[in-house]
Amino acid sequence: MIKKHLIITSIASPNPVLKSYAELCRKNNVVYTVIGDTASPKSFKLAGCDFWSVERQLQMPEKIAKMLPTRHYSRKNLGYVIAKKNGAGLIVETDDDNFAMDNFFNFFPKQIRTNALENRGWHNVYHYFSKIHVWPRGYPLDDVRHSRLDYSSLKNRWVLAPIQQGLANDNPDVDAVYRLTGELPLTFDANKEIALGKNTWCPFNAQNTVWYAEAFPLLYLPSYCSFRMTDIWRSFVAQRIAWENRWHVLFYSPTVRQERNEHDLMKDFADEIPGYLNNRMIAQALQDTPLKKGESNLFENLIRCYQKLIDLHLIGTKELPLIEAWIEAIG
C-alpha cells in the first residue's frame, strides 16, 4: 500500500468542506495537510488535519518556504514538499470549496487500460463528458467549437498515467467567459475516462488532481504569473515533459462537486486574459522546445520549459530561483 496525502491550501476557518475531508481521510487512511496563508485564522483547529500556518511554514528548513510569495496559491508547493518528505507515494489535491463524492478516494491505478488519444493537437476533454457546449479553463477560445471524435469511437489500450484529473460537478472548472455566458450548474457523465498522450493538449487544474510519485517534480506551481493561470500553465509544462516519458494524463468523471467560493467574474476575466491571448502560443513554444527523455531529466526539462515562458515575458525572472529551490526541496 502506498502512502497517500491530501493537500489543500485555504485561508478559511474549518468550513464544512475542510471538516468533511478530515473525516474522509481518517476513514481512508490518508494524511491530510492544509497549507495556510497570511489571511488564515490565527487559530485553526481541526482534528485529523495537519495545518501549516505561515509562521510554521517559515520554520521549514527548505529555502523555498521563505522565498514563496504570501497571499498566493503557489504556497501550496509547500504541501507537496511536506508530503514528499513524509514518504507519500501519491498526492491528491483539491480546494476548500469542493465536496468529495463517495468515489473521491477510489483512485485509478497509474497503469490503466482506457480510451487514449495521441497526436490530436488541442482536445477539449469536457466534450466527452457532457452534451452541453462547455470547455475547461485555459482552453483556447478559438478552438472551443471544433468538432471532436465520438466517445464510442475512441481506441482502448494500456497507458501509463501518473497524472490524473478528476472533473467537478455543479460548478466545474470553466473560464470566466463560460461563467458569464454558459449554463450552470452542470453535471458531467459518470463512469468515463480518457487519456491524452503525446502531441495532444488540454489544460488541467489543481482542484481535483492525483499525482503518483514519479510525477512529483512536475507539481510545481509558478508564482510570478497571472493568478488564474498558475495551475493551467503548470499543466502545459507537465504535459510537455510527460511526453518525453511516454506518460499520458488521465481525465475521469467527477469525484467532487463544487460549491464555488464567492468570485468577481469580471476580475476572473481580467486575470485570465494572459491565457486567452497566449495559451495556444505557449503550447506551441513548449512543443518546439527540445527536451530530454527519461525520468532522470525531469528537473532539467522543468527548468527548460519555465525558461521558455520567461523568455516569452509571460512569467517573471524571479521564477527561476524559486524553481531551483523547488528542485532542491523535492529532489
pLDDT along the chain (331 residues), means of 10: 96 96 97 97 94 98 97 97 98 97 96 96 95 96 87 92 98 96 96 97 97 98 95 98 98 96 92 97 97 97 98 97 98 90
What is residue 153's predicted lDDT score, i.e. its pLDDT? 86
Phi first, then psi: what are they for 72, rounded to 5°? Answer: -145, 140
For the chain, the structural domain boundaries read 4-330
Class of domain 4-330: alpha beta
Q: Which amino acid is it at 287?
A: Q
Cα first-last separation, the chain: 22
- Nine-digit cell at 128? 466527452
What is residue 10's predicted lDDT score, i.e. its pLDDT? 96
- Nine-digit cell at 124? 477539449
Q: Are 236 and 285 in contact (CB under 8 A)?
A: no
What is residue 117's predicted lDDT score, i.e. its pLDDT? 94
Task: Quote the CA–CA distance of 93 and 258 in Å, as a whole number.
Answer: 14
Predicted model pTM: 0.96
